[in-house]
Amino acid sequence: MTAKGALPSHVRVVVIGAGFAGLGMAVNLRKHGIEDFLVLEKSGTVGGTWRDNTYPGCACDVPSRVYSFSFAQNSQWSYSYSRQPEILSYLERVAEELGVLPFVRFSTEVTAAAWDEGAQLWRLATTGGELTAQFVVVGGGVLAEPAMPAVPGLDSFAGAAFHSARWDHEVPLAGRRIAVIGTGASAIQFVPYLQREAAQVTVFQRTAPWVLPRRNVPVSERTKAVYRRIPGAQQAVRGMIYTQMELQLAAFVGKGWARSVGERRGRQHLEKQVADPALREVLRPRFALGCKRILFSNQWYPALCSDNVTVVPHGVREITPTSVVASDGTVHEADVIVLGTGFRPMEIPMARCLTGRGGRTLSEVWGDRPTAHRGTTVHGFPNLFLLLGPNTALGHNSVVLMMEAQMAYVIGALKALRDQGASSVEVRAAAQEAYNAGLQRELATTVWARGGCTAWYTNAEGHNFVIWPGSVGSFRRQMARFDADAYELVA
């Protein structure tokens, strides 16, 4: 197969997306002798979120040693926490060196995929033509659809306005008045860069986040040489980092003794970096550590203390052609608006395109309560597998480890079908319901349910459809064996 030419009429497996999940799945398929597959990628290159997010300062807040594939460890990371260009280069190198690129069809967006019960296969429509597949693996992830705030007047703004995930590098920023809406994981990375360029930066903050210090140090050439020459050394360091991060789960579950330690560290970080007591009070979090995503930065607070930065501790009421009006009625003139308003995890683009048995799309089945069995399969959608599906995100460790566990589970399912001569596999409704009921019981005792905040992890009723409440190790153990008893196999 090549990345060019007409699509075949049929393949055994279609993988949607060529980011971390899609590339990892492709590598695993090849490793297990499955080469009758295609990776369909809507863009012209691999990389997923690390291709799309190019805002200044974009970096990972998980250590590089664990935010990478176990089967493609990189001895040449420049920093302990990698920046976007280096992560993208890593993914490009993995795709090339592990022989995945010939299986990728670029600029081929899946516009519809419907399960054909009679033929026991998926019928897919793409911008490059139509094809069928016995199995579909979705590697699109939940952080793909930018959340555009429903602020009156946004379309009337006369200057440039863009979301951080769709950064407009053509817009001049030097000497401009820039309004930033949002104080989440992206904003704490790009605001320090804007502060150095802009004449004035106005940051609109509805809720002050917990911000902890981050020790991001360069990796020395000597250390790189050791990793390159002694692979076991890098594996040992990866293991130590993994274990340290697993221990951090204690801050999110249980009685919260570890959470109090983290909160004390966060308060000390705030007090050390923000001398003005009035600003410090504005920036003080008012919910438990971990209820919302914990942020890591040594530059965020100093940037907010700068003379050319103003923090408005309110949401936005409306936008005029020349200004942003806060919910307290204050008017702030602006030349540029940058939206750091995150993503819509319930609005996975592919969920609108996937139609299962009965003619209902995955979006329609889910509504505002996305659920899946082990975050991977959904009743009513035979031969469909989700990577980083509902309740597979983490607050304490690397999601790459979760992806790899799911990839092994998918391979187990494919082998089970082959061994039993079956054509399709579908999780039983009772198994899916029981699994998710157990998940919600566990989540009800965690900081995500009791932390006193409203986070994007939950819907309006408090149903947490994003977070895995346990350790990575526990998830990997449950995914180590395909639980065929939870499924109905059709010959």
Q: What is the pLDDT of residues 359-407, one digit of tens each?
A: 999 999 999 899 999 999 999 999 999 999 999 999 999 999 999 999 9
Distance CA 468, CA 451 (A): 16
Residue 2: predicted pLDDT: 40
pLDDT in tens, 25-65: 999 999 999 999 999 999 999 999 999 999 999 999 999 99
Residue with tokens 């993988």: 15
Reported for 191-195, long-range contacts at CB under 8 A and 24+ positions apart, including other chains, are 191/300, 191/303, 191/304, 191/309, 191/340, 192/57, 192/297, 192/299, 192/300, 192/302, 192/303, 193/56, 193/57, 194/56, 194/338, 195/303, 195/306, 195/308, 195/309
Sign of the torsion angle spanned by Cα atoms 231, 237, 238, 240: positive
Residue 39 and residue 103 in contact, taking contact as beta carbons nearer than 8 Å: yes
Sign of the torsion angle spanned by Cα atoms 179, 184, 187, 188: positive
Distance CA 441, CA 463 (A): 11
Report the relative pairing of strands 309-312 and 200-204 from DSSP bridges.
parallel
* DSSP alpha helix (H) spans, 347-444: 362-366, 399-420, 429-443
Q: pLDDT class for 458, splitting at 50, 70, 90?
A: confident
pLDDT in tens, 217-265: 999 999 999 999 998 999 999 999 999 999 999 999 987 788 999 999 9
Q: pLDDT class for 441, splitting at 50, 70, 90?
A: very high
Residue 3: predicted pLDDT: 52
Helix 472-479 to helix 399-420 angle (10° resolution) is: 10
Q: Is 190 helix (H, G, I), strand (E, B) or coil?
A: helix
- In this predicted structure, the answer to whether residue 160 has a pLDDT above a threshold of 90 is yes
Residue 348: predicted pLDDT: 72
The arithmetic mean of pLDDT across residues 444-463, rounded, is 88
The arithmetic mean of pLDDT across residues 203-224, rounded, is 95
The arithmetic mean of pLDDT across residues 335-345, rounded, is 88
For 153, 195, 365, the CA distances from 360, given in Å and listed in that order, are: 35, 48, 7
The structure tokens listed for 280 are 């410090």
The neighbouring-strand residues paired with 114 are 123, 355
pLDDT in tens, 103-158: 999 999 999 999 999 999 999 999 999 999 999 999 976 666 788 888 999 999 99
| DSSP string covering 199-247 | SEEEEE-SSPPPEE-----BPPHHHHHHHHH-HHHHHHHHHHHHHHHHH
Residue 316 and residue 326 in contact, taking contact as beta carbons nearer than 8 Å: yes
Residues of the chain with pLDDT > 90, as a percent, come to 89
Residue 140: predicted pLDDT: 73
pLDDT in tens, 76-89: 999 999 999 999 99
Residue 16 and residue 122 in contact, taking contact as beta carbons nearer than 8 Å: no
Residues of the chain with pLDDT > 70, as a percent, come to 98
Residue 1: predicted pLDDT: 36
> Taking the mean position of all CA atoms in its chain, how far away is CA 461?
23
Q: pLDDT class for 347, splitting at 50, 70, 90?
A: low
Residue 99: predicted pLDDT: 96
Q: pLDDT class for 179, splitting at 50, 70, 90?
A: very high
The neighbouring-strand residues paired with 354 are 113
Average pLDDT over the chain reads 94
